Chain A
Amino acid sequence: MKPLALFSALVLLMACQPSGDDVKAGERPASYGLGHTPTAAEIAAIDIDVNPSGVGLPAGQGTAATGAVVFAQKCAACHGPKGEGIEKNPKLVGREPAAGAVFAADFKQTKTIGNYWPYATTLYDYIHRTMPLSSPNSLTPDETYGLVAFLLTENGVIPPSTTIDAKSLPAVKMPAQKQFVRDNRTGGATFK
């Protein structure tokens, strides 16, 4: 091929190619190159969840005794001095009714930590992220561990002397855990 013809062919070939990195309709690049890699500190600042294995639990500890003090100061105004609930603010303490079927039969039966919460780690996760309602996400790890210990003790789940920390909390078995089952609805003709 003569140099001029080669040059012309190259120009023609290039004209048929997408310019730069643009992609044809319906095609996508491997990455759009947006966003930045968050630093470990940036992730740690918002990665607050705690799971049933205990992942996410911080250092610190508490007992029913230390928790009782925090509860009286920061929780009792809404939930009652013994976690008995005030008006719409939920009752937290009580093992009765224990049988799961009563909840389906009667909506006036109260679900408490002792009769309905399936995982003890959820207490830490929820109290720390959500309570108190007026200043959520403000409790220290020690305050939160104390409240968890106090509430588990009041519900008769742990002995009063138990120290609750990152090691002991995931080991606490909740009375209601066995009643939870996964969704079995799949659509179709049968109502479940």
Chain B
Amino acid sequence: MPSGVLGERSPFEQPALAPLNVMQGATSTPLHKLRGTITPSDLFFQRHHNGIALVDPSKYSLTIHGLVDRPLRFSLDELKRFPSETRTYFIECSGNGRAAYRGAKPEMTPQDVDGMTSNAEWTGVLVSTLLREVGPKPSAQWMLAEGGDAALLSRSIPMEKMHSDAMIAYAQNGEPLRAANGYPARLLLPGYEGNMSVKWLRRLEAISEPNMSRDETVKYTDPLPDGTSRQFSFVMDAKSIITAPAFPEKLSGAGWWPITGIAWTGRGKITRVDVSVDGGRSWQLAEIVGDPQPYAHTRFQYMWKWDGKPATIMSRAHDETGYAQPTLDEFRKVRGKGTDYHFNAIRSWNVAADGTVGFGG
């Protein structure tokens, strides 16, 4: 067949986001249809608080104001004239894994279990570069980030994060951001819960105390068994998920099979991934594929010689702080069965003698 205006996928490959038509919710990445670490931009998960904003780039501006010496407003073209950075980062919704935690079912795919995490190469200007232009006052300990979507989503971000690695991203995997991912410009906070990387970013206000917006008080806080609610739990702790073998895959028979998946941490680099093929009784070191980047999905694999008997396979990620993913029991004990966010317990998949694979919680 002749070439077209876009390089379409082979008709034999039909990866898809799910669920569809979401206005106030999430649509997830088909993790089990992907290899390597980069999420294609059209398969990047989306979480919307009131739909996708369609922003005309010629009318877009980012205003930085509040406790600064020189408030400034930048057009998109002006943002692109600053020195740029290109870095690979994951974004994970802090509610990722909630459905699987509350109601695990064997027929859940990796997309159903943990599809609200994706990984892309981002290009943009560091917030620290813009802060040099506006000059934050010493009292400016936080910044309020506000989106230009219908929800006008707002979050308070510690100034320290803004000075370190926060970025205003305008490109994703080499092209302008996709509309659903914040076109024409979004905030990007490496390692932090996804909603703080405010899409369609319209302003940053330097403030002295957190704003206590609804999405940092009522939502995105973690109720704990001692009766407290943990607030400002920004960092996504280490986590991993096996993407194959996993439901709905069926192994055709005994023999060598790669157990592969992704691991990531909001605290820097993944240093090690363990795999268990006996339900967590023993663990083996998995191979890290390629060179792990900080705050990015890291691919792991473990060559498994399946004997054809029922088996439970699991993965456990470790990060550079010495943190290891908790077991499901440990997680339930510390956070409670009804907790709301940051679900990073070890996941399991049950392989039956006939080769079918089911999610095991």
Indicate, yes or no, whether A interacts with B: yes
Query: Which residues, 111 to 143 on A, are CB-close (under 8 Å) to B?
Result: 111, 116-119, 121-122, 125-126, 129-130, 133, 136-137
Count of residues in A whose CB is under 8 Å from the partner chain: 57
Evaluate contact between A36 and B72: CB separation under 8 angstroms.
yes
Cα distance A100–B326 when bound, in Å? 24
Alpha-carbon separation in the docked complex, A167 to B82 (Å) = 43
Contact A122 B212 (CB under 8 A): yes
Contact indicator B73/A103 (Cβ below 8 Å):
no
Taken together as a complex, chains A and B put the C-alpha atoms of A31 and B83 apart, in Å, by: 12
Given A35-B133, A133-B50, A137-B152, the answer on whether A181 and B228 have CB atoms closer than 8 Å is yes
- Stretch from B33-41, B104-112, B317-325 at the A interface: B317-325
> What are the residues of chain B within 8 A of A16 when measuring CB–CB?
none
Q: Does B336 contact A (CB under 8 A)?
A: yes
Contact B223 A103 (CB under 8 A): yes
- Mark out the residues of chain B between 294 and 327 whose CB falls within 8 Å of any chain A CB in the assembled complex: 319, 321-324, 326
Chain B residues whose CB sits within 8 angstroms of the CB of A183 once the complex forms: 230-235
Q: Please give me the residue from chain A that is nearest to B221 by CB atom.
A: A180
One digit per residue, 1 when the CB lies within 8 angstroms of any chain B CB and 0 when it does not, for chain A 45-62 equals 011110111000000000
Choose among B152, B203, B226 the residue that contacts A130 (Cβ–Cβ < 8 A): B152
* Given A49-B144, A107-B340, A191-B326, CB of A42 within 8 Å of CB of B63: yes
A184 to B223, CA, bound (A): 13
In the complex, A37 has a CB within 8 A of chain B: yes
B32 contacts A by Cβ under 8 Å: no
For residue B7, CB closer than 8 A to chain A, the reply is no
At the interface, is chain A mostly helix, strand, loop or mixed? loop
Question: A191 vs B327: C-alpha distance in the bound complex, in angstroms?
Answer: 10
Q: Tell whether B274 is near chain A: CB-to-CB under 8 Å.
A: no
A104 near B339: Cβ-Cβ < 8 Å: yes
B70 to chain A, nearest CB (A): 7
Cα distance, A106 to B102, chains bound together (Å): 10
Contact residues of A between 85 and 118, Cβ < 8 Å to B: 99-109, 111, 116-118
With a cutoff of 8 Å between Cβ atoms, the chain B residues found around residue A34 in the complex are 72, 74, 78, 81-82, 133
| CB of A160 to closest CB in B, whole Å | 24
Establish whether residues B73 and A105, one from each chain, have CB atoms under 8 Å apart when the complex forms.
Answer: no
Which listed residue (B63, B217, B267) contacts A187, Cβ 8 A? Answer: B267
> When chains A and B are docked, how far (Å) is the Cα of A192 from the Cα of B228?
13
B51 nearest in chain A by CB position: A133
- Contacts of B74 on A, CB cut-off 8 Å? 34-35
Residue of B nearest to A183 (CB): B233
Specify the chain B residue showing the minimal Cβ separation from A112: B218
Are A46 and B338 CB-contacts (below 8 A) given A122-B214, A122-B217, A180-B221? no
Please state if A117 and B218 are interface contacts (CB–CB under 8 Å). yes
**In the complex, are the beta carbons of A136 and B212 less than 8 A apart?**
no
Say if the beta carbon of B202 comes within 8 Å of chain A. yes
Q: Which residues of A contact B203 (CB under 8 A)?
A: 46-47
Of the candidates A28, A49, A100, the one having the most CB atoms from chain B within 10 angstroms of its own CB is: A49
Known: A51-B209, A125-B214, A130-B151. A43 touches B228 (CB 8 A): no
Question: What are 21 residue pairs bridging A and B, where the CB atoms are less than 8 Å apart in the complex?
Answer: A31-B133, A43-B65, A46-B63, A47-B203, A49-B154, A49-B213, A52-B209, A101-B225, A101-B336, A104-B335, A107-B340, A111-B218, A117-B218, A122-B212, A122-B213, A129-B154, A133-B150, A182-B231, A185-B233, A187-B267, A187-B323
Apart from the given pairs A51-B207, A136-B150, A189-B323, 12 other A-B contacts in the complex at a CB distance below 8 Å: A34-B133, A42-B73, A46-B146, A52-B212, A100-B227, A103-B338, A104-B335, A105-B338, A107-B340, A125-B213, A136-B151, A183-B232
